[in-house]
Amino acid sequence: MILHKGNCSTHSCNEKDQSALLLFKHDVVDHSNNLYSWSNEEDCCAWKGVQCDNVTGRVTRLDLDNQYLEGEINLSLLQIEFLTYLNLSWNSFTGLSLPKNLNQSCDTLSNLKYLDLSFNEDLHLDNLKWLSLFSALQWVNLSAINLENEANWLQIMAMHPSLLELRLSMCNLNYIIPYVKFVNFTSLVTLDLSRNYFSSNLPHWLFNISSDISHIDLHGNNFQGQIPKSLLNLRNLKSLRLDDNELTGPIPDWLGEHEHLQHLIISKNFFNGPLPSSLGNLSSLTEFSVSSDSLTGNLSHTIGQLFNLRSLYIGGSLSGVLSEKHFLKLSNLESLVLNSAFAFDLDPNWAPPFQLLEIDLRHTILGPTFPEWLYTQRTLETLDISSLGISSINADRFWSFVANIREVRLSNNAISADISNVTLNSEYITMDLNNFTGRLPLISTNVLHLDISNNFLSGPLSRLLCSKLRRENYTLLYYLDVSHNLLTGGIPDCWKSWRGLIHLNINSNKLGGEIPPSMGSLNKLQRMYLGNNNLSGKSLDISNLKSLIVFDLEENNFFGVVPTKIPKSIQQMVLSGNQFTGNIPVELCSLPSLKLLDLSTNQLSGSIPPCLYNITPVNARRGSYFLYGLDLSSNNLSGEIPPELFGFPQLAILNLSRNHFVGTISGNIGGMTNLEVLDLSHNHLSGEIPPTITRVSFLSFFNISYNDFTGEIPTRGQLGTFDSWSFVGNPKLCGPPLAKKCTEEVNHNKAEQVGANDSLNETFYFGMGVGYVVGFCGVWYSLLLNRAWRQKYFRFLDNIPDWFYVFVAIRLNRFREFRASAR
């Protein structure tokens, strides 16, 4: 809370205090003018964030959290004699400075009890010695400040015997002194060292800490080894977080002796063996979370004795059958998450003792019928029954039940139901990968996220988009995915009610016609997938879509020239499989955020414009937006491949196959250090394969077949891992992996070339190993020739970085084309 003034003080602000505050302000950058009141024209006790004692007028508190402040923190304000509370958290400070006379006045600093500088994420502190000046500190929070260069942080913090709460989460700490047995934290109640980089065993001193310690958070630290029995020394422990580490061994049976424990979170570790039945003795437990892929056995009935339990999460590899005994006394349970292969043996008329807010039963064995006992849960806000094998629902009862639930996840089941007459009402709905049929459902204005892809829905898209309800009410829907269905008709011209859309996917249907003008009103849209339909038209203009990042029109019937009116925000443009003609427009070179350009399988002609390999990233310092992928395959392009293109180090994918290119492969190719896919097949290229290509260490797909290359194939480095089909159709090539042997003269000349590069060879072997692993992805190629598998795989790829999605997708398509041509 920001305090604007103190309580009506009987004295004006102390002059010394005011001077210290103004020195602090001098080093602050305040773009938002939040410190407008800090001037000599107003008493400093009335300044924003300042609180004074209402009798003495001395400043006692300074609270400026989340005020968008930048610049340096000048610790001159710590010379304010009676300051007890300082909160500068959630700003953007980048430095900290100490006044020269601070040490001489350290007797005035003993009153500071509360210090919070957390979440100034650009603040790097190389040492914390200045904290030793404040002997009265009781609460310290430096979370999300970079302390990676401070190796003595533990010793410095231990110099404060009055410390009650210490939070150093996300500080890049990497040293915790695991073998020190005792640290002087005699008063500590709360310790948060989460999300650092310790990568050691749990430290001995942690379990000899203050007898008053009640809250320990060590999650996300890569801690290893087993939980030591000395944890029993901390008899007053109420909260213990050890999740997201690398702890091993069994979950100890003696954990059940921690009678005061209320929160036990030990998920995402490598524990093995069963869950001990003694955990049922933790009668104070309100939250329990455990998961590991090495846990075995059944879940003990004793878990049902935890009558105070409010949240239960069990994931990993546990199995067995759950009965009513497992839930017998869980009357206070609000969140139930079971993500293991549990089966259920419950009476059809069972009435659970709880009323849940959240239930997540993913991957349990619950189908094929939606269980009746779930209908008893009248307070649900979240329901996740994905991947349960459910195929049958009572349609009337089911849809009225889920209409009152805020978040509903039904993905990856086999539910067969006609949903033509259903009106969806939940805010967040995923119904993809089922067997839903009929027309698209109606949706209320409550719906924000709808994924109904990969079903068998038919009829027009206008039913969902253009109903009377939609025309009269502005919807807040931001995510819509109806891809991989059987929708027909055109794209309706009623998008003005959908201006909140960020993600739109209508891929892989049977939609036809042109893109309607009203789609230009979607100025928040970031991702537009219209591919694999029967859409057509020319002279596309999407320049009004100012936020667009992904634009996918692949496999349609668009014609005319490649669109040039493209928003500057675009990162991926996929226009493959259409009928575009003419040259590659130079306007594409002015797209500063472009990462992927796919113009393959069109009727483009001319040469590669020189500007294409000079695309300038938006942020050259961070290299955020370099061109990663370029696919111009299966066109009528001609001329030479510019040598500069082979020297473009950021390219990961280059596919120029099935064109009419002539000339040679430039020796610059050795500088393409990130290249993973190279396809130059089916052109008229000639000359020798440059030996510098052996410097490209991460190739996982390589094809120069059906050209006119000559000479011996370089076999060193990554190039030696490819089969003969990468080189066939070049009658003048020789040497492995081809059957044609080279003459002695060719071998002699080649040996001289290779010998000149022998000093580089050792660096290639690491790349070869990585390439072999990456190359294993080729196994997927043949699997994904099947359309249904390909669709599901692309659904998976939507959840990983976009450029990698394209990386895999392009390789799949080009490999399919190559195999087809080789038959």
Total residues belonging to the chain: 823
> What does the pLDDT read at residue 814?
43
pLDDT tens column, 271-305: 999 999 999 999 999 999 999 999 998 999 999 99
Helix (H) or strand (E) holding 643: helix 643-646
> What does the pLDDT read at residue 134?
86
DSSP 251: P
Question: In the predicted model, is pLDDT for residue 802 greater than 50?
Answer: no
pLDDT tens column, 469-489: 544 456 789 999 999 999 999
For 106-116, what is the mean pLDDT? 77
pLDDT tens column, 15-53: 999 999 999 999 999 999 999 999 888 889 999 999 999
Confidence category of residue 773, pLDDT binned at 50, 70, 90? very low
* SS3 readout for 658-725: CCEEEECCCHHHHHCCCCCEEECCCCEEEEECCHHHHHCCCCCEEECCCCEEEEECCCCHHHHHCCHH
> DSSP letters of 381-428?
SEEE-TTS---B--HHHHHHHHTT-SEEE--SS----B-TT-EE--SE
* Assigned token pair, 564: 């040039």
CA-wise closest residue to 440 among 426, 425, 456, 427? 456
Question: In the predicted model, is pLDDT for residue 209 greater than 90?
Answer: no
* Assigned token pair, 708: 């006119």
Dist. CA 464–CA 460, nearest whole Å: 8
**CA–CA distances in Å: residue 773 to residues 321, 465, 565, 708:** 39, 46, 41, 31
CA-wise closest residue to 660 among 630, 645, 640? 640
Burial of 453 from C-beta contacts in 10 A (0-12 / 13-18 / 19+) = buried
Confidence category of residue 747, pLDDT binned at 50, 70, 90? very low
Q: Are 252 and 276 in contact (CB under 8 A)?
A: yes
Question: In the predicted model, is pLDDT for residue 809 greater than 70?
Answer: no
Q: Are 583 and 560 in contact (CB under 8 A)?
A: no
Dist. CA 545–CA 543, nearest whole Å: 5
pLDDT tens column, 95-104: 999 877 655 4
Distance from chain centroid for Cα 177: 32
Question: In the predicted model, is pLDDT for residue 774 greater than 50?
Answer: no
For 708-721, what is the mean pLDDT? 89
* Assigned token pair, 1: 């809370």
> What does the pLDDT read at residue 759?
34
Kindly report the pTM of this predicted structure. 0.82
Question: In the predicted model, is pLDDT for residue 822 greater than 80?
Answer: no
> What does the pLDDT read at residue 79?
83
Lowest-pLDDT range of 70-74, 155-159, 406-410 = 155-159
41 has which bridge partners? none
For 497-517, what is the mean pLDDT? 95
Confidence category of residue 367, pLDDT binned at 50, 70, 90? confident
pLDDT tens column, 214-255: 999 999 999 999 999 999 999 999 999 999 999 999 999 999
> What does the pLDDT read at residue 752?
43
pLDDT tens column, 633-661: 999 999 999 888 887 888 999 999 999 99
Tell which phi-psi region holds residue 112, choosing left (phi > 0), alpha (psi between -120 and 50) or beta.
beta
Note if the bond before 690 is cis, omega within 30 degrees. no
> What does the pLDDT read at residue 474?
61
> What does the pLDDT read at residue 11?
60
Lowest-pLDDT range of 71-85, 103-117, 278-292, 438-452 = 103-117
> What does the pLDDT read at residue 769?
34
Q: Are 691 and 757 in contact (CB under 8 A)?
A: yes
Q: What is the mean pLDDT of the chain?
A: 86
Dist. CA 733–CA 658, nearest whole Å: 19
Dist. CA 159–CA 62, nearest whole Å: 24
> Could you give the residue ranges of the DSSP H alpha helices within 136-295?
153-157
CA-wise closest residue to 379 among 398, 358, 394? 358
Q: Positive or negative CA dihedral for 367, 369, 373, 376? A: positive
Question: In the predicted model, is pLDDT for residue 731 greater than 80?
Answer: yes
Strands (DSSP E) found in 599-675: 603-606, 629-631, 636-640, 653-655, 660-663
Lowest-pLDDT range of 58-62, 606-610, 761-765 = 761-765
pLDDT tens column, 657-675: 999 999 999 999 998 889 9
Dist. CA 95–CA 607, nearest whole Å: 52
For 798-822, what is the mean pLDDT? 42
pLDDT tens column, 320-364: 999 999 999 999 999 999 999 999 999 989 999 999 999 999 989
> What does the pLDDT read at residue 102?
58
> What does the pLDDT read at residue 469?
52
Q: For the chain, how many helices (H) and strands (E)?
A: 11, 50
Dist. CA 115–CA 160, nearest whole Å: 13
Dist. CA 704–CA 685, nearest whole Å: 9
> What does the pLDDT read at residue 716?
82
Q: Positive or negative CA dihedral for 144, 150, 154, 157? A: negative
Burial of 351 from C-beta contacts in 10 A (0-12 / 13-18 / 19+) = exposed
Confidence category of residue 787, pLDDT binned at 50, 70, 90? very low
Q: Is 572 helix (H, G, I), strand (E, B) or coil?
A: strand
b/e burial code for range 36-56 (CB count within 10 A of at least 16 → b): ebbeeeebbbbbbbbbbbeee
Dist. CA 386–CA 406, nearest whole Å: 16
**CA–CA distances in Å: residue 27 to residues 14, 20, 62, 70, 792:** 21, 12, 16, 9, 55
> What does the pLDDT read at residue 175?
81
Lowest-pLDDT range of 18-32, 85-99, 308-322, 460-474 = 460-474
> What does the pLDDT read at residue 12?
80
709 has which bridge partners? 687
> DSSP letters of 307-371?
TT--EEEEEEEEEEEE-GGGGTT-TT--EEEEEEEEEE---TT---S---SEEE-TTSB--SB--
Q: Which residues are CB-contacts of 767 (< 8 A; sequence separation ≥ 6)?
A: 697, 698, 717, 718
> What does the pLDDT read at residue 613?
67
Dist. CA 618–CA 448, nearest whole Å: 32
Dist. CA 206–CA 234, nearest whole Å: 9
CA-wise closest residue to 215 among 170, 185, 174, 249? 185
> What does the pLDDT read at residue 697?
85
Maximum Cα–Cα distance across the chain: 103
**CA–CA distances in Å: residue 580 to residues 461, 532, 534:** 26, 16, 15
Dist. CA 748–CA 765, nearest whole Å: 24
Question: In the predicted model, is pLDDT for residue 807 greater than 90?
Answer: no
Give the strand pairing for 165-167 and 139-141: parallel
Confidence category of residue 78, pLDDT binned at 50, 70, 90? confident
DSSP 135: T
CA-wise closest residue to 66 among 33, 87, 34, 89? 89
- Give me the torsion for CA of 786, 791, 794, 795, rounded to 10°: -150
